Amino acid sequence: MRLTRYFLPVLKETPADAQIASHRLMLRSAMVRQMSAGIYSWLPLGFRVLQNIEKIVHEEQVCAGAHPILMPTIQSADLWRESGRYDAYGPEMLRIKDRHDRDMLYGPTNEEMVTDIFRKAVGSYKELPQMLYHIQWKFRDEIRPRFGVMRGREFLMKDGYSFDIDKESAIHSYNRMLVSYLRTFERMGLTALPMRADTGPIGGDHSHEFLILADTGESEVFLDKSVTELRLGEREVDYADRAQLASIVEEWTTPYARTDETHDAAVFESETPEARRMTARGIEVGHIFYFGDKYSKAMKAEVAGPEGSLIPVEMGSYGIGVSRLVGALIEANHDDNGIIWPEAVAPFDVAIVNLKQGDEKADAACNELYAAFSGAGYEPIYDDREERAGAKFATMDLIGIPWRITVGPRGLKNGVVELTSRRSGESIEVAPAEAVEKYVELRRAAS
């Protein structure tokens, strides 16, 4: 992408109403614009990151055996009357009437709708287990939308739903999702910790929130430090292997890690050696629930069991805050100059900065580098503006491109360009023809 052809209306001033770094940086770097309270448009740079995150979420969901679908945003109130949540949900639900005066709503979540799809399609335990998910916009009329996309009113969620014949297999489905979330967040370069949590309006008695530790997090958390050091790394996961999944889940959930709602100081102290006790704040990027037959019973989602009698299915639901993750990733990856994208979600792989636009040799070298990176499957953004070097560096730092290639007449005279890491700030000189190779090597070493 050539910057002069791109749509990147960065802001020079720090927006006054943005209280946290991610909100400020998302506005300044022209990732989003607010349309009304808690409702945002995604501009090209932000939309790229959102789509990169979506892609990782999709891949890991499918890998764990979930099937992608797409349900509508507008739902009929009748379904919610069946489950009893139409009245229970309260003012967070945006209620709408259509031209026939029928009650509709903008979905805040989809348990009812997916249960309806399921009950009309599946009749026997032999067709189980099933796991369906979608990535779709939700609306919750939050009383206090704030921190930009972190607590929006309209936001993008991955919500998945599992259907099993009994509790044992439902817990296996739950474990599949828990482990797939560990992989999903690790791929994004995040440490997201599963913590035992309350279930709120979704219901059930077995639930984990995934939290990223950050000072600006909304929940206070209590944890054993050792849980922050766990990594799946290169471990092979076999989603059919119940024992393996159960042991991974045990490894991650045994060290004390809880959100404030369920915090019991005495239990925390008895379960956690003093040297390892830690309190912190966390951003909730995912939440998973096992709620048994709460919806299947109310909505008669039953299948014939092995003995022929009808059994309400055992269900769970599994959410990831896809749009919130964009903010959470920035909270976890920024400095005074701007964003520092992890490679896996970066909007562009590499920034090519031309120090002397219009200089024949510098222009030619930039064009060649652009072609070389593109040809190798990487996406460059080329700062081809007629601007001072300092302004170009500042923009590329602000928007967080993980690597920068600086090209200028003086370097070229010596046969080199400069390759700089956004994260470490370290630079090396490299011959233009070897830039891609060196980049690949450094990128691999850094991740």
Q: Which is nearer to ligand 5CA, 152 or 342 (CB)?
A: 152
Asked if 297 contacts 311 with a C-beta cutoff of 8 angstroms, the reply is no
Cα–Cα nearest to 103, from 75, 139, 145: 75
Q: Which is nearer to ligand 5CA, 139 or 370 (CB)?
A: 139
> Closest approach of Cβ 284 to ligand 5CA, in Å?
5
d(CA 265, CA 276): 15
Of 31, 32, 50, 157, which lies in the binding site for ligand 5CA, with binding defined by CB under 6 A?
Answer: 157
284 binds ligand 5CA (CB under 6 A): yes
155 binds ligand 5CA (CB under 6 A): yes
Q: Which is nearer to ligand 5CA, 107 or 411 (CB)?
A: 107
287 binds ligand 5CA (CB under 6 A): yes
d(CA 80, CA 345): 36
Question: Considering only residues 72-101, where is the footprint of ligand 5CA by CB under 6 A?
Answer: none
What length is written for the chain?
447
354 binds ligand 5CA (CB under 6 A): no
Cα–Cα nearest to 178, from 254, 245, 259: 245
Burial class (CB in 10 A: 0-12, 13-18, 19+), 441: exposed
140 binds ligand 5CA (CB under 6 A): yes
116 binds ligand 5CA (CB under 6 A): no
Buried b (16+ CB within 10 A) or exposed e, 271-297: ebeeeeebebbbbbbbbbbbbbbbbbe
The gap from C-alpha 23 to its chain's centroid, in whole angstroms, comes to 16
- The H-assigned helical ranges of 286-400 are 294-298, 322-332, 360-375, 389-399
Of 83, 162, 317, 354, which lies in the binding site for ligand 5CA, with binding defined by CB under 6 A?
Answer: 317
142 binds ligand 5CA (CB under 6 A): yes
316 binds ligand 5CA (CB under 6 A): no
Cα–Cα nearest to 108, from 73, 143, 147: 73
> Closest approach of Cβ 176 to ligand 5CA, in Å?
15
Q: Which is nearer to ligand 5CA, 345 or 401 (CB)?
A: 345
107 binds ligand 5CA (CB under 6 A): no
Of 85, 119, 258, 324, which lies in the binding site for ligand 5CA, with binding defined by CB under 6 A?
Answer: 324
d(CA 293, CA 383): 56
Question: Considering only residues 192-231, where is the footprint of ligand 5CA by CB under 6 A?
Answer: 202
Question: Considering only residues 159-198, where is the footprint of ligand 5CA by CB under 6 A?
Answer: 159
> Closest approach of Cβ 83 to ligand 5CA, in Å?
12
> Closest approach of Cβ 181 to ligand 5CA, in Å?
10
Q: Which is nearer to ligand 5CA, 209 or 349 (CB)?
A: 209
d(CA 427, CA 434): 15
Q: CA 363, 365, 366: angle at the middle one, nearest 5? A: 65
Asked if 230 contacts 167 with a C-beta cutoff of 8 angstroms, the reply is no
d(CA 444, CA 352): 19
> Closest approach of Cβ 328 to ligand 5CA, in Å?
8
151 binds ligand 5CA (CB under 6 A): yes
Q: Which is nearer to ligand 5CA, 296 or 317 (CB)?
A: 317
Question: Considering only residues 388-407, where is the footprint of ligand 5CA by CB under 6 A?
Answer: none
381 backbone dihedrals φ, ψ, rounded to 5°: -115, 130
432 binds ligand 5CA (CB under 6 A): no
Task: Report the DSSP beta bridge partners of residue 160.
Answer: 133, 318
Of 148, 203, 319, 408, which lies in the binding site for ligand 5CA, with binding defined by CB under 6 A?
Answer: 319
d(CA 43, CA 36): 15
Of 107, 148, 282, 321, which lies in the binding site for ligand 5CA, with binding defined by CB under 6 A?
Answer: 321
What is the β-pairing status of strands 350-354 and 403-407?
Answer: parallel
Of 152, 217, 282, 402, which lies in the binding site for ligand 5CA, with binding defined by CB under 6 A?
Answer: 152
* Number of residue whose CB is nearest ligand 5CA: 321
Q: Which is nearer to ligand 5CA, 92 or 166 (CB)?
A: 92
> Closest approach of Cβ 209 to ligand 5CA, in Å?
7
Tell me the three state secondary structure of residue 281: strand
230: its two tokens: 């766990």
Q: Which is nearer to ligand 5CA, 137 or 268 (CB)?
A: 137
Interacting residue ranges for ligand 5CA, rule: CB under 6 A:
109, 111, 140, 142, 151-152, 155, 157, 159, 202, 284-287, 317-319, 321, 323-324
